[in-house]
Amino acid sequence: MRINRIERDITALADELEVPGIGHLPVNAYVLHAAEPVVVDTGLSLPGRGFIEALASVVDPADVKWIWLTHPDRDHTGSLFDLLDAAPNARLVTTFLGVGIMSCARPVPLNRVFLLNPGQSLDVGDRRLIAFRPPLFDNPSTVGFYDESSSSCFSSDCFGAPMPSAELATADDVGYAPSAAVRAAQHLWAAVDSPWVRIVDEDKFLATVSELRAMDPRRILSTHLPPAEGRTPEYVEMLSAAPSTDPFVGPDQAALEQMLASFEPPTS
């Protein structure tokens, strides 16, 4: 895990996951160093990722007041319950549906929950966080937010893109990768993560893109993309083209057997 200070009041805890045949998927959590500190998502549900240790190097978990869970998929909830233990005064920001999904695996302490829907806002002491549903999402409980103070959009899975290497996946700025390659990877991710986008009413989808365009954030902070500053017009245009992306077709069993055979040690 790599720690990237994005600006004075935002830190990215950058991890990545190699996806065979696709690339290295960034998996970011964030710390918003507000008057009431906010942790945005809690990393991968894989052993040995060191999330709590990395978090403790940038903020005392006991000082965390809010844990904003953009949605309860396993690449966002890895250290959630460890953090709830380490941050006894923190409230878990999620939706009613998010609580229901998580409760299928483990009881969620309802006295720690703060339910927030798109269109509502959260006061964290020195700023207001405005909740919204990103144009692209893979979980119906997804809620990102816009931080008025830093002009940053925390977009959950929206704008994600697999990178060609672990180094690029955990970089502190997406600008290290060529723009054309990022755009192609973003459209690939849209087809993988939000395949429904190809069959939606395009006018209704573009209306959600227009809401983000009107927000006009200076910085986009996605779970699955290195931090992107000054690229909102470019990325909004990319979203507008998402309904016309080619569908993603994954490997079948024959392809899997071929991949497995390539890893078999040669016989003597």
pLDDT at 94: 98
Please name which of 13, 12, 43, 9 lies closest in space to residue 147, comparing C-alpha atoms.
Answer: 9
**Domain residue limits, the chain:** 2-261
pLDDT for 263? 74
- pLDDT for position 264: 65
Residue 201 CA to residue 190 CA, distance in Å, equals 16
Instruction: Determine contact, residues 185/251, Cβ cutoff 8 Å.
Output: no
Ranges of the chain whose pLDDT falls below 50? none
Q: What is the CA radius of gyration of the chain?
A: 19
- Token representation of residue 203: 């006018």
How far apart, in whole angstroms, are the C-alpha atoms of residue 204 and residue 206?
5
Whether 194 and 184 have beta carbons less than 8 Å apart is answered as no
pTM of the model: 0.94
Q: What is the pLDDT of residue 267?
A: 59
What pLDDT sits at residue 21?
Answer: 81
Tens-place pLDDT, residues 140-199: 999 999 999 999 999 999 999 999 999 999 999 999 999 999 999 999 999 999 999 999
Topology at the third CATH level for domain 2-261:
Metallo-beta-lactamase; Chain A (3.60.15)
Give residue 266's pLDDT.
59
